[in-house]
């Protein structure tokens, strides 16, 4: 009961943050809305019993990535964005609800096919006789046993991206 109540509160905050992110004119307000979205997503992970994923969401996204966003906005001193005034009124009135309904249907079909809608809110979830996600042991086992090769390949990819960024940043010398 409490889980369901918390789910609706934080889901509402999450959606409101996402809408605010698009509606705000100043980049720093948008970035702060994105932090709210990340934080409420972390709470939703927590409600699913995935406390490790929730903590990582907070540390990596709300903590590290968004600090970099805010840092860049501050450094570039980005101002209020300019808006074009000739948007279609029909697109806003009909298009936005239509898009939401369409995405909702797609999400429902996908989650139904993948069997994700059987996951209950709250507590560790049992699928195929084992706890699927959430605690550090489960995540570690998945990363370093079952998906070791993709994990290592991804880290090399990220390393290459970092080196590429360094090379691009130093090009003028």
Which parts of this chain interact with another protein (CB under 8 A)?
Answer: 28, 32, 35, 42, 51-52, 55-56, 58-59, 62-64, 67-68, 70-71, 74-75, 135-136
Distance CA 162, CA 146 (A): 26
Residue closer to another protein (CB basis): 86 or 170:
170
Q: How far is the CB of 123 from another protein (least distance, A)?
A: 14
Residue closer to another protein (CB basis): 42 or 44:
42
Classify each residue of 138-149 as buried b or exposed e, where b means 16 or more C-beta atoms within 10 Å of its C-beta.
Answer: beeeeeeeeeee
Residue closer to another protein (CB basis): 125 or 135:
135
User: What are φ and ψ of residue 85, in 5° steps?
Assistant: -100, 0
Q: How far is the CB of 18 from another protein (least distance, A)?
A: 19
- 8 Å CB contact between 96 and 22: no
Determine the Cα angle at 38 with ends 104 and 96, to 5°.
Answer: 30
Q: How far is the CB of 7 from another protein (least distance, A)?
A: 19
Q: How far is the CB of 73 from another protein (least distance, A)?
A: 8
Classify each residue of 72-111 as buried b or exposed e, where b means 16 or more C-beta atoms within 10 Å of its C-beta.
Answer: ebeeeeeeeeeeeeeeeeeeeeeeeeeeeeeeeeeeeeee
Residue closer to another protein (CB basis): 70 or 119:
70
Q: How far is the CB of 91 from another protein (least distance, A)?
A: 31
Residue closer to another protein (CB basis): 113 or 167:
167
């Amino acid at each position: 009961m409490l889980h369901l109540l918390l789910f609706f509160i934080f889901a509402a905050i999450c959606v409101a943050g996402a809408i605010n992110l698009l509606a705000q004119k100043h980049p720093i307000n948008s970035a702060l809305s994105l932090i709210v979205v990340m934080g409420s997503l972390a709470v939703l992970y927590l409600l699913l019993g995935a406390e490790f994923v929730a903590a990582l969401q907070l540390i990596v996204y709300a903590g590290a990535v968004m600090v970099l966003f805010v840092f860049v906005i501050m450094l570039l001193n980005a101002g209020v964005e300019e808006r074009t005034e000739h948007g279609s009124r029909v697109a806003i009135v009909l298009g936005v609800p239509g898009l939401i309904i369409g995405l909702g249907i797609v999400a429902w079909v996908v989650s139904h096919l993948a069997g994700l809608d059987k996951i209950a809110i709250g507590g560790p979830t049992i699928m195929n006789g084992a706890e699927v996600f959430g605690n550090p042991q489960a995540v570690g086992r998945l990363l370093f046993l079952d998906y070791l090769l993709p994990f290592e390949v991804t880290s090399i990819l990220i390393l290459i991206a970092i080196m590429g960024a360094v090379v691009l940043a130093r090009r003028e010398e």
